[in-house]
Structures are given as structure tokens and as C-alpha cells.
A and B are shown apart, each in its own frame.
Chain A
Amino acid sequence: MIELIHTGFAVGKKILVTPLSLQVTAGEFVVVMGANGAGKSTLLKMMSGALQPTKGNIVFKGKPLQQYKTEELAKQRAVLSQHYHISFPLSVREIVMMGRYPYFNDQPLVRDEEMVVDCMNRMEVTHLSERNYQTLSGGEAQKVQMCRVLAQIGETSATNEKLLLLDEPVSHLDIKYQHQLLKEAKQLCEKNVAVLAVLHDVNLALKYADRILFMKDGILVTELNKKEAITASLLKEVFDVDAKIFDMPEGNGKFVSY
């Protein structure tokens, strides 16, 4: 669905992402990991179309990414950013409805209203619907933004595949909702969506990812296709931590302690 061909990004002489090649197809859940400043967000921004790569190019659904119009792209990929700063009072419902903006002209259609309700139910924020967004806690706000992004993904089909980019989507969430959010993303994968998420928790990545990319200093160090292949030396190299790796008691998968 999306293919990076020798794609890199530099500001002046400072290379933020060393040219790398990568392919993500619909139905895949790819997690990007790495220390702070490893170039994860830059990679994600290039894939979202917000940053124009300074090297190589990106092909999205068979067409160069930069040839898409912003409104056209908004119907085919959604992005959850790390931070939101909102200086005006808006209700939670109004924020979630923004996810549907690319789909209607003047007034939301019944379909859009239903989608908003459905997304709020899925992230369990329906009770916040009339609350002023500015009064929410960090975790609540993150859930609401996820709702908006889910609403923007909207309907999908085999002929209408979509891309979901998540930049540290669970940074403010409690344990329950970390899993809730990633389960939602995982379910989208079964509905013709490709998901690429930046995560910091190795164990969450091991649980949900189909593939894990490890980045360090702007370089794609390893693409871990088999999660069982994770090693302590890899974690040492990428994160500079001494980690121990265990087998899950149920016998499926690995567990990392650090």
C-alpha cells in the first residue's frame, strides 16, 4: 500500500533519517521503536505527507505521495499526533466530528453522526461527549483524539484500503486503555487498513505488532519480522539497556524485562 524507496530526510547537513526502504501493506501492524531522537516521528511525518523527503520518494497506492491533494489524502490516511494544544473551547463531540469533515460538505450526514457515536463507544468516551475538551485529562484527551482519527479512517473495503499512522498513541493512557487502543488499531488491520505506530513499550510491540522496526540515530537498524527473534543484544544496541528476555508462560511469544 505504501512504499518508501530509498527515502531520507535531512535539515541542512543534519541527517534525521538516513535513506531507507520500506513497504507496508494493508492488514499489517508495523511498530517503529527507537530511543528519543532516533528519527521515528520524522519517518512518520514523511509517510503522512506532512514532510517532503529530501532523498528518494514515497509511493502511496501506486501514486507518488506528493501528487495527492490534501483533501484527497485525508480520506485515505489518518494520523494521530503526539501532542495537541487546543486554545479554544470545543466539545468532545465537535472534536470527534472533525474526523468526518473530509467526507461531507456543509452539514454532517446521518452516516457521519453514526460514525462519531460508534467511534466514541469504541474508545469508551461517550459519557464525555458534551464536555469541553480543554477540561479533559491527558489520557481522556488522547482517547478523544483517537476517536477522531478512527472516524477519519471511517469505512474501508478491499478496494478502499487506508493507512493509519500513530505517533506514541498510548503515552498518556492507563494500562487498560493502552490495550484497548491497540486492539482497535489491530482490528482495523483486519478491515483493509495498514497501521504504523511508534511505541516505546517493547512488550506492547511484541504483543500487537506483525513487524517491528528498530531505529537508531536516523538509521533503520533492524526489521524484526519474527518477533521470537528479539535478542538482548539488539535491545542493548538500540536502547542502550541491559534487558532480559523470557518466554511467555502460555508458551506463545516473548516477554522483555528491563
Chain B
Amino acid sequence: MATLNKYFFPLSLVIWVIVLLTAIAFGAVSITVPDMLSAVQHWFQGKAPANIYEGVFLQIRLPRVLLCMITGAALAVSGVLMQGLFRNPIVEPGLIGTSAGAAFGASVVFVMSASLSADLQKLAGPLLVPLFAFGGGLLATYTVYMLAKGTRRMNVTTLLLIGIAVNAVGLSGTGFMSYIARDPQARSITFWNLGTFSGSTWMQVWITGFVVAAVCMIATRYAKQLNTLILGEEEAGYAGVDTEKLKRRIMLYNTAMISIATAFVGVISFMGLIVPHLMRLLLGSDHKRLLPASMIAGSILLTIADMGARLLLAPAEIPIGIITSLVGAPFFILLLKRTHILNTKGGGHD
């Protein structure tokens, strides 16, 4: 364990760089490392891309891979935060309504934007969609949290069941929006419910990157308090943590991060579940290590999943949410079995 701790970060950074380069290189158009270098050089000199490879690299591949890495980090960190907050290893934004709520909020903008004035429509993409997604995500997360808290002991079974209910509300809301939508809007909603990185722009990279970086930095400052919360809420209070304040803040920051990521790339399930779990197995639960480790691992794994989405059925593209769900759902069931929630007693951990 100790040696692993020492080598984990250097090793994972090396893997991270390799995955970054591989993800950029492979696609409908292959891009070589010299192409990448000369493209960056041209960009710095303010010149236009010299050929199609440089153009694809700068305008399509690079923003896509970067957005993917940022989103992967966001989902994984969100998993860590939510699990820490609910004191439960099987919570993630897809299971407790955050993503579904955000999806609903965003779909409202998709459908309504047609009836907005031209000026507002320009704003809709980069600003209104994330804003509405944030509203929807916050509302859904808060509802799940309050309902689960209302039951005397917040155990997993209750939490998951309430999550299912709120998810269903979010999904049917999104379904309704796509039902009343006109064709192209409906198509973007459907696509987006399954998650996709196609059409990533630099604008999205900057906005998500800024929010995710800020939230991750703030989150590491709460590492000690999140550790203490593992002991239990009352016990964390005895150890000097204002638990109510901590929960409110973490929930707010986390929802902001997830909603904005969801607004741009859609719903990607199970990443927030798998990554923190793997990192806990490797490094233990000290949030000081767990948070940065999950960040790196999340961005690596989601980028690999996106490569799968692009390359498995090339030139066609699979929505990435399908891949993460295909891998994630069996993993989730395994985890449920391991934590004895599916046993006959049915009580589960709390």
C-alpha cells in the first residue's frame, strides 16, 4: 500500500499523457505528433492551420479530448464528494437525480430557445443551457437529499429508491420536452440523454474547465472535513466540523460542476461510481489523496471510453453514455452485492 502510494501519482500522470496523445491521434482522421506540434506552433504565431490535419487537431480533436478529460475529472470528483456527503459508497450524480434534473433543465432551453429573440438565442447555447441545467440539477439533488433525510435513518435503500423516483420525474420531464419539440430539437435531446462529445467547442472547454478547476480546488480544501464525516455526522460535529454548512456547500459546488458538464455533454452514468471505488481500493479513503487521484483516473477512463465511442463503429459514433452504462451497470450490481444491500435482510448500510 505504501509503495503504491508513492508511485501512484507519477505513474498515473505518465498514463494520462499517453492517453491524451493517443486520444488526439486516433479518429476519423489520424493526426501525427509532428502535426500536433506544428499546429500548436502555428497557433502561437497567429497563423492559420497549414493543412487539414492541423485544422482537425485544433478545431475538433483537441477541444473534444480536453472537454472529455475535464468532464471525466468532474464526474469522478463528484462521485467522491457525493459518496462522502451521503457516507455511502454507491452514490453518484446519475443515481441521485443530479444528472436527470440537469438534463431536464437543459432540455427546457433546447425546446424554448426557438421562441426566443435572436439575441437571446445566441446566449442560449453557452449560458442559458448551463444555467437551467444547474437549476434543474440543484432542485433534483436537494429533493432527494431532503426526502432521504426525512426518513429517520438515511440508509442506502431509501436513498436509491428516492433517487429512482426523482430520476423518473426528471426523465419524464425531458421526455415531455422532446415530445413537444420539433424534429431537430428532439434529436439533440435524445442524443444528449445518452451523452456525447461530438461537437465540443473551445467555449465549452473554457467554461467547464474553469468551473471544474475551481470546484476541485475548493474540494481539496474540504478534504479533512470529508474524512471526519466518515465517522458519522454527529461524530464529525464533535471533531469540530460544522456538518450542515459543509453539506450545503459541497452540494452546491458539486451540483454546479455536474450541471455544467451535463449541459454540454449530456448524461454520462456510472463514471462517478466506478472511479472513486477503484481509487479507494488502491489508495484508501483519505480524501487528500482520493480527490486528486480520482480526478486523474476519471479523466483517463472517460477519455478511453470516448475513444471507444469514436472508433468502435467508425465512421459512425456511439453515444458515450451507452459505453459507460454497459461497463458501469454490471460493476454497480457487483458493488451492490459486495456491500450486502441485495441480501435477504434488505436493510443495507446506512
Chain A residues close to B by CB (< 8 Å): 45, 48-50, 69-75, 77-79, 81, 84-91, 94-95, 98-99, 101-102, 130, 132, 152
Q: Does B349 contact A (CB under 8 A)?
A: yes
Are the CB atoms of B237 and A70 closer together than 8 Å?
A: yes
Most central of B231, B232, B234 by chain A CB within 10 Å: B231
> Could you list 27 examples of A-B contacts with CB < 8 Å?
A48-B238, A49-B237, A50-B238, A69-B242, A70-B237, A70-B240, A71-B240, A73-B240, A75-B240, A87-B89, A88-B83, A88-B89, A88-B280, A88-B285, A89-B281, A89-B284, A89-B285, A90-B284, A94-B227, A94-B284, A94-B285, A94-B286, A98-B239, A101-B227, A101-B228, A101-B239, A130-B1
User: Number of contacts between A and B (CB, 8 Å)?
Assistant: 77
CB neighbours of A77 from chain B (8 A): 238
In the complex, how many angstroms separate the beta carbon of B243 from the nearest chain A beta carbon? 8
> In the complex the two chains form, what is the Cα distance from A49 to B235 in whole Å?
12
In the complex, how many angstroms separate the beta carbon of B142 from the nearest chain A beta carbon? 23
> In the complex the two chains form, what is the Cα distance from A50 to B238 in whole Å?
8
In the complex, how many angstroms separate the beta carbon of B225 from the nearest chain A beta carbon? 8
Instruction: Indicate whether A79 sits within 8 Å of B350 (C-beta atoms), given known contacts A87-B230, A101-B224.
Output: no
CB neighbours of A48 from chain B (8 A): 238
Instruction: Indicate whether A81 sits within 8 Å of B237 (C-beta atoms), given known contacts A70-B242, A94-B227, A98-B227.
Output: no
CB neighbours of B241 from chain A (8 A): 70-71
In the complex, how many angstroms separate the beta carbon of A169 from the nearest chain B beta carbon? 14
CB neighbours of B227 from chain A (8 A): 90, 94, 98, 101
> In the complex the two chains form, what is the Cα distance from A53 to B228 in whole Å?
25
Q: Does B198 contact A (CB under 8 A)?
A: no
> In the complex the two chains form, what is the Cα distance from A90 to B238 in whole Å?
19
CB neighbours of B310 from chain A (8 A): none
> In the complex the two chains form, what is the Cα distance from A132 to B224 in whole Å?
18
Are the CB atoms of A86 and B239 closer together than 8 Å?
A: no
Chain B residues close to A by CB (< 8 Å): 1, 83, 87-89, 224, 227-228, 230-232, 234-235, 237-242, 280-281, 284-286, 339, 349-350
Instruction: Indicate whether A84 sits within 8 Å of B349 (C-beta atoms), given known contacts A50-B237, A74-B238, A102-B240.
Output: no
> In the complex the two chains form, what is the Cα distance from A127 to B175 in whole Å?
58
Are the CB atoms of B232 and A84 closer together than 8 Å?
A: yes
Instruction: Indicate whether A85 sits within 8 Å of B239 (C-beta atoms), given known contacts A90-B285, A94-B286.
Output: no
CB neighbours of B235 from chain A (8 A): 79, 81, 84
CB neighbours of B231 from chain A (8 A): 84, 86, 95, 98
Mostly, the B contact residues are: loop
CB neighbours of A91 from chain B (8 A): 284
With beta carbons under 8 angstroms apart, the residue of B88, B240, B280, B350 that contacts A89 is B280
> In the complex the two chains form, what is the Cα distance from A73 to B350 in whole Å?
27
CB neighbours of B280 from chain A (8 A): 88-89
In the complex, how many angstroms separate the beta carbon of A150 from the nearest chain B beta carbon? 13
Are the CB atoms of B240 and A101 closer together than 8 Å?
A: yes
Nearest chain B residue, comparing its CB with the CB of A103: B240
Are the CB atoms of A87 and B88 closer together than 8 Å?
A: yes
> In the complex the two chains form, what is the Cα distance from A86 to B237 in whole Å?
16
CB neighbours of B89 from chain A (8 A): 87-88
Name 5 extra pairs, CB < 8 A, besides A84-B232, A88-B285, A94-B286.
Answer: A81-B232, A84-B231, A85-B232, A90-B286, A102-B240
> In the complex the two chains form, what is the Cα distance from A49 to B339 in whole Å?
33
Most central of A49, A70, A95 by chain B CB within 10 Å: A70
In the complex, how many angstroms separate the beta carbon of A94 from the nearest chain B beta carbon? 6
> In the complex the two chains form, what is the Cα distance from A87 to B233 in whole Å?
13
In the complex, how many angstroms separate the beta carbon of B29 from the nearest chain A beta carbon? 44
Nearest chain A residue, comparing its CB with the CB of B235: A81
Are the CB atoms of A88 and B240 closer together than 8 Å?
A: no
The 5 nearest A-B residue pairs measured at CB: A74-B240, A88-B285, A71-B240, A102-B240, A79-B238
Are the CB atoms of B349 and A74 closer together than 8 Å?
A: no
> In the complex the two chains form, what is the Cα distance from A81 to B236 in whole Å?
11
> In the complex the two chains form, what is the Cα distance from A65 to B12 in whole Å?
48
> In the complex the two chains form, what is the Cα distance from A70 to B286 in whole Å?
22
Nearest chain A residue, comparing its CB with the CB of B241: A70
In the complex, how many angstroms separate the beta carbon of B157 from the nearest chain A beta carbon? 14
> In the complex the two chains form, what is the Cα distance from A47 to B67 in whole Å?
51
CB neighbours of B238 from chain A (8 A): 48, 50, 74, 77-79, 81
CB neighbours of A85 from chain B (8 A): 232, 349-350
In the complex, how many angstroms separate the beta carbon of B275 from the nearest chain A beta carbon? 14
Are the CB atoms of A74 and B286 closer together than 8 Å?
A: no
Are the CB atoms of B285 and A99 closer together than 8 Å?
A: no
In the complex, how many angstroms separate the beta carbon of B280 from the nearest chain A beta carbon? 6
Are the CB atoms of B228 and A86 closer together than 8 Å?
A: no
> In the complex the two chains form, what is the Cα distance from A11 to B284 in whole Å?
40
Nearest chain A residue, comparing its CB with the CB of B339: A87
Nearest chain B residue, comparing its CB with the CB of A95: B231
